[in-house]
Structure 1
Amino acid sequence: MATRHPLPSDYNNQDACLPVQDSRSATLLRLSIILCTYNRRNMVLSTLASLRRQTLPYTLFEVIVVDNGSSDNTLQAVRTYVHAGATQDRPPENTWQVHCLAEPRNGLAHARNRGLQAAQGEIAVFLDDDTLPDPFFLAYLLDTYKTTGADAVGGRVTLHWDAPRPHWLSDNLLEMLGYYAPSTMRMPLPETLNFSGCNFSVKMEALRAIGPFSPFLSKRLQVPARAECADLCQHLRSKGYMLWYEPNAIVAHRVPAARIQRAFFQGRAYWRGRSEAMQHYVNASPSSTGIHMMTFATLKALLCELRELLQLALLHRPLLYLSSRPPQEQLQAALAQAEIWGHLCQQLQFIEHAPALLTTPAVLLVRPPQQDTSLLEQGFLEQGVRYAVSEASLPLLWLWQHRTYKAQPIGIIHISQAGAFDLNFWQQQRFRFLLWFAQHLGIRVITTDAGGWWHNVRSLRFLLHRAFERRLFYCSDIVLTYARQVARLYPDKRLRHRVHFLVHPGYRGYSPPPVAREQAYQQLGIPPKATFVYLCLAHLHTEHELLHLIDAFSEAGEQQQRKKENSSRKKLQLLLVGSPRDRAVPQLILQRAAINSALHLFLEPDEKDLPLFMGAAHSVVFPYLAPTSVGMLDTVLLALSYERIVIVPDLPRFQGVLPLHASIFYDANRRADLVQALVKAQSPRCHFREKDLCALDFSSGWQQHSKRLLEIYQILLNQQ
């Protein structure tokens, strides 16, 4: 039995109807008691009566009763009880504050989240509707917060027997009835322990930091799961909050006769096993479910559990019965069997169907093999999005697991750069069939149109890529684009109404820093006297586009030579990195390079050499020609993130999304315009402003990007 410590005089008010003279220091720590109830009218009235007898002054706490869809007229009975003793001439300090709310969505998490929305106190106290708080409960709880500086405090739970305790009920089973007393002394809660679900409290600031209660882990109709408190403690610890246990903050948990049955304990053990599996599923890495759910390790673990279950059911329990072992020992074996069975059933259910009550959607990210999506995946991890990555394919197992559950969509297929999928005709037909099948299973489809090299390579060889991507746009629920000029890029109104604009984040601070210019000149063989170097990523362009750039570069050089004041000072150089997309051996470009020493070719560069080329360059040129759909914004933003001036055509993918002072636009139909852009890039007027650099920061940019994606996912899943 815990020894009570004396309370400070501020809290030790024996007459709860009288105000305390000096409670200003405690008013900053007002408590909001959130009491959720479902079809327990008489029990919740008893709990309210116990709260009414608290020694803590009424000015320091409020009670929020949340009726979770009861059918026994609970809400009206609570209101009648609360207002029974109220009189108009009673001063406010002698009147307790009780708010009655209704939450129609069934589930303890929904009810608690509804109570938190209405709470005004700085500390939320959570009690079950079948508990009886000690008169000093709130006073000791508040004193613990003031004394220890805790962020969350849990109290002791004793048992209130409504029926005689049976002889077979041993002490080690009391925990299944709600008993909780890990220590007789106030202490920081050990890492191995969690709060009791019927008596705990958390500061509102900490609750806002970790997010709302999860409906998936909490008790609801037909699913008496009990993992929300363990999940709460884990999230609080991961954020660095301090958890304390106070043995003097006591509530008594009622034990009715219906719970003193062996069947109740077996049911509780069964759901404990299922709750553990639920918590493990939630705590697993978001990318470790879905496609990889049926791994060898998973199957091995399931077989081990099945073997243990069969040993208990077919060998151990029959031997205990035949040897007339005590009832307590036989019950322990039955509980172990029930818990393993519950854990096994829940794991099999996850394999058969992904859970529908998680607060974040499940996403299948389908990308081309060469695309790097690490930043997007990191954003998903930070937002808690459960995702799987697939390379140009739709795994049938993932589709089946994430089909619509009880008319609620739970899965999203997010396709990125479909034109880069290296699929033949029949593989494309299979992909489209699986996409059609996924939509009939209720899975939503999002496609990102970020442009690509297959748009500016106009040969028939890549027509199949463009047609395949276009068909996927028309099959998608939403098409995400990084272009603001939607009408120019998508003239078809049937497609345009599906298009949503999304800001593309930058890469500043993520990519390796550029090599020092002098060192880059030396490594690349650029003359030390070169004063301005243009860089073109040739692998993104066609041979025709590169020849167009070479001609413009030569003309810009001639213009500089004609200006006597600049002839000795301006020495222009052009770096072409990579081979053109439509020519493995660009003969015409090789011929031009042979007669122009200012032209430098690097036909087979290493991706790791990008900082070297960026270090040598002053400006990056993108010589796209007139087709409206061409352009890759991510590569342009990468160049800007290296703080290099970019020269781009005035096409829809670039207009309105690039910093004006660091971008030079030219008419894609006129070579003379490109020549003037090359000359203009040398002007000191082209520069980066501080706000431009901040907008290119990868950390905040990709965080906002993932948040916006999550909002779009949730909106799409909620559409009927």
Structure 2
Amino acid sequence: MSVPALASALMVSVVVCTRNRSASLRRCLASLVAQSADASLFEVIVVDNASTDDTAAVARAAFAGRDNFRYCLESNLGLSHARNRGIAEAAAKRVAFIDDDAEACPDWIEEMLSFIGRVTAVVAFGGPYLRMVDGAVPAWFPPEYGSSVLSEDEGALDSVTQFISGTNMVFRRDVLLALGGFRPELGMSGTRLCYGEETRLQIDLKRQGHQVFYVPAMRVKHLLPAQKMKLSWLIRNLYAVGRCSSATFCQKRTLLSCCSGICYGIVFALRTLATPSHNPLRRKIYYSLKPLVSELGALHQFLLEGHDRA
């Protein structure tokens, strides 16, 4: 069956953006093959973001005999470019995104379609993700890291502080196209850590008066690999989040605000380190340094932008 023949029945296009993670991709696609939803109601589009491993072969092997799975190559490096290519390729009115290192629960698409049937006018919604590991988690590692559960109840998120996750989100395609998709200056690009593209998109949606909904029954599991369970990686990650924060939240920083944030971060770190707690040392260090490291990242970006303007 061709894609045009499927299009009239399609309810959602699931986009999986991937780059050089064929082993994780294999597990992700296996979870999508195993979905309980009627295969005529959804399609899966793998967007290969210029991989140099066997990603294409892994994808095509998973697709064998399945008309609702397809593959495309996006040569412009960057997760936002890949996601935008997925939006362009999608044949359904709604586009869902799941990371290549995530696994969808068997009823993920079924719960997605059920929500669409109940709340037909919604333009954006998403669900939780739960931490998945292949080995042992270090005893010091923050127990909340790698999972996101915003609520036990289904409903609209607040317009300021709550956002659905990039590994479990669904949008109306026409709204994505009207916004111009995801911003290429944000999001991962090769090995460069950069975040915020899905948060910025939701901020833009909310500014136009749209609500973003949370669907707790729509669950995925997300891999937390061993290399991310190190204090050095957590610190590096905090720095990258801070570096992207201005563009993510549409907040123009000044030198004064950056210096004030750093001063607050120093006081917070010293106070937290001096306060007795039952947390293991490395976890305590991580918690104490979160504001400071993020603010240092924000200062770094401010100085770069000042140099660009000069």
Q: TM-score, normalised by structure 2?
A: 0.89
How far off is 1:229 after superposition? 1.3
- Structure 2: distance between partners of 1:43 and 1:81: 13
Structure 1 residues 155 and 323, CA, compared in 2 at 3 Å: closer, same or farther? closer
- Aligned-partner residue type, residue 238 of structure 2: A
Per the alignment, residue 202 of structure 1 pairs with: 171
Question: Is 1:145 paired with 2:126?
Answer: no
Cα contact 1:151–1:242 (8 A) shared by 2: yes
Cα contact 1:320–1:330 (8 A) shared by 2: no
Cα contact 1:28–1:122 (8 A) shared by 2: no
Q: What per-residue deviation string (whole Å, max 9, x for no partner) do you get for residues 438-492 of structure 1?
A: xxxxxxxxxxxxxxxxxxxxxxxxxxxxxxxxxxxxxxxxxxxxxxxxxxxxxxx
Q: What is the aligned counterpart of 1:330 among 257, 277, 285?
A: 285
Cα contact 1:278–1:346 (8 A) shared by 2: no
- Structure 2: distance between partners of 1:194 and 1:28: 30
Q: Secondary structure at the match of 2:184?
A: coil
Structure 2 unmatched runs, 5+: 1-6
- Structure 2: distance between partners of 1:325 and 1:99: 47
Structure 1 unmatched runs, 5+: 1-25, 87-94, 290-296, 354-397, 401-720
Q: Secondary structure at the match of 1:234?
A: helix
- Structure 2: distance between partners of 1:215 and 1:352: 21
Per the alignment, residue 80 of structure 1 pairs with: 61
How far off is 1:273 after superposition? 0.9
How far off is 1:311 after superposition? 4.8
Per the alignment, residue 52 of structure 2 pairs with: 71
- Aligned-partner residue type, residue 256 of structure 2: K
How far off is 1:309 after superposition? 4.9
Cα contact 1:152–1:201 (8 A) shared by 2: yes
How far off is 1:322 after superposition? 11
How far off is 1:302 after superposition? 2.9
Cα contact 2:194–2:241 (8 A) shared by 1: yes
- Aligned-partner residue type, residue 188 of structure 2: K
- Aligned-partner residue type, residue 250 of structure 1: R
- Structure 1: distance between partners of 2:276 and 2:129: 38
Q: What is the aligned counterpart of 2:153 among 174, 185, 195?
A: 185
How far off is 1:28 after superposition? 5.8
- Structure 1: distance between partners of 2:276 and 2:39: 60
Per the alignment, residue 91 of structure 2 pairs with: 120
- Structure 1: distance between partners of 2:156 and 2:261: 35
Q: What per-residue deviation string (whole Å, max 9, x for no partner) do you get for residues 484-514 of structure 1?
A: xxxxxxxxxxxxxxxxxxxxxxxxxxxxxxx
Cα contact 2:78–2:190 (8 A) shared by 1: yes
Question: Is 1:269 paired with 2:225?
Answer: no
- Structure 1: distance between partners of 2:304 and 2:112: 40
How far off is 1:255 after superposition? 1.4
How far off is 1:180 after superposition? 1.4
Per the alignment, residue 441 of structure 1 pairs with: none
Q: What per-residue deviation string (whole Å, max 9, x for no partner) do you get for residues 661-719 of structure 1?
A: xxxxxxxxxxxxxxxxxxxxxxxxxxxxxxxxxxxxxxxxxxxxxxxxxxxxxxxxxxx
Once the two structures are superposed, the pairs formed by residues 175-324 of structure 1 within 5 Å of their partners are 177=146, 179-191=147-159, 192-280=161-249, 283=250, 298-309=254-265, 311=267, 320=274
- Structure 1: distance between partners of 2:235 and 2:10: 41
- Aligned-partner residue type, residue 94 of structure 2: I
Per the alignment, residue 3 of structure 2 pairs with: none
- Aligned-partner residue type, residue 42 of structure 1: A
Q: Secondary structure at the match of 1:249?
A: coil
Once the two structures are superposed, the pairs formed by residues 562-573 of structure 1 within 5 Å of their partners are none
Question: Is 1:61 paired with 2:33?
Answer: no
- Aligned-partner residue type, residue 284 of structure 2: E
Once the two structures are superposed, the pairs formed by residues 676-691 of structure 1 within 5 Å of their partners are none
Cα contact 1:305–1:344 (8 A) shared by 2: no
- Structure 1: distance between partners of 2:40 and 2:221: 24
Once the two structures are superposed, the pairs formed by residues 139-538 of structure 1 within 5 Å of their partners are 139-149=110-120, 150-172=122-144, 174=145, 177=146, 179-191=147-159, 192-280=161-249, 283=250, 298-309=254-265, 311=267, 320=274, 326-327=280-281, 328-353=283-308, 398=309, 400=310
Structure 1 residues 323 and 213, CA, compared in 2 at 3 Å: closer, same or farther? closer
Structure 1 residues 323 and 185, CA, compared in 2 at 3 Å: closer, same or farther? closer
Cα contact 1:41–1:73 (8 A) shared by 2: yes
- Aligned-partner residue type, residue 12 of structure 2: L
- Aligned-partner residue type, residue 107 of structure 1: G
Per the alignment, residue 4 of structure 2 pairs with: none
Question: Is 1:37 paired with 2:8?
Answer: no
Q: What per-residue deviation string (whole Å, max 9, x for no partner) do you get for residues 214-243 of structure 1?
A: 111211124321111111111111222232
How far off is 1:29 after superposition? 5.7
CA RMSD of aligned residues (A): 2.5
- Aligned-partner residue type, residue 347 of structure 1: F
- Aligned-partner residue type, residue 155 of structure 1: G
- Structure 2: distance between partners of 1:224 and 1:199: 20
Per the alignment, residue 627 of structure 1 pairs with: none
- Among all aligned residue pairs of Structure 1 and Structure 2, give the percentage whose two residues are the same amino acid: 28
Per the alignment, residue 471 of structure 1 pairs with: none
- Structure 2: distance between partners of 1:106 and 1:226: 15
- Aligned-partner residue type, residue 137 of structure 1: W
Q: TM-score, normalised by structure 1?
A: 0.40
Structure 1 residues 242 and 27, CA, compared in 2 at 3 Å: closer, same or farther? farther
Q: What is the aligned counterpart of 1:52 among 23, 27, 33?
A: 33
Structure 1 residues 143 and 322, CA, compared in 2 at 3 Å: closer, same or farther? closer
How far off is 1:144 after superposition? 0.6
Cα contact 1:32–1:124 (8 A) shared by 2: yes
- Structure 2: distance between partners of 1:325 and 1:134: 32
Cα contact 2:140–2:279 (8 A) shared by 1: no
How far off is 1:316 after superposition? 5.3
- Structure 2: distance between partners of 1:41 and 1:112: 18
Q: What per-residue deviation string (whole Å, max 9, x for no partner) do you get for residues 334-361 of structure 1?
A: 33332121111111111111xxxxxxxx
Structure 1 residues 59 and 344, CA, compared in 2 at 3 Å: closer, same or farther? same
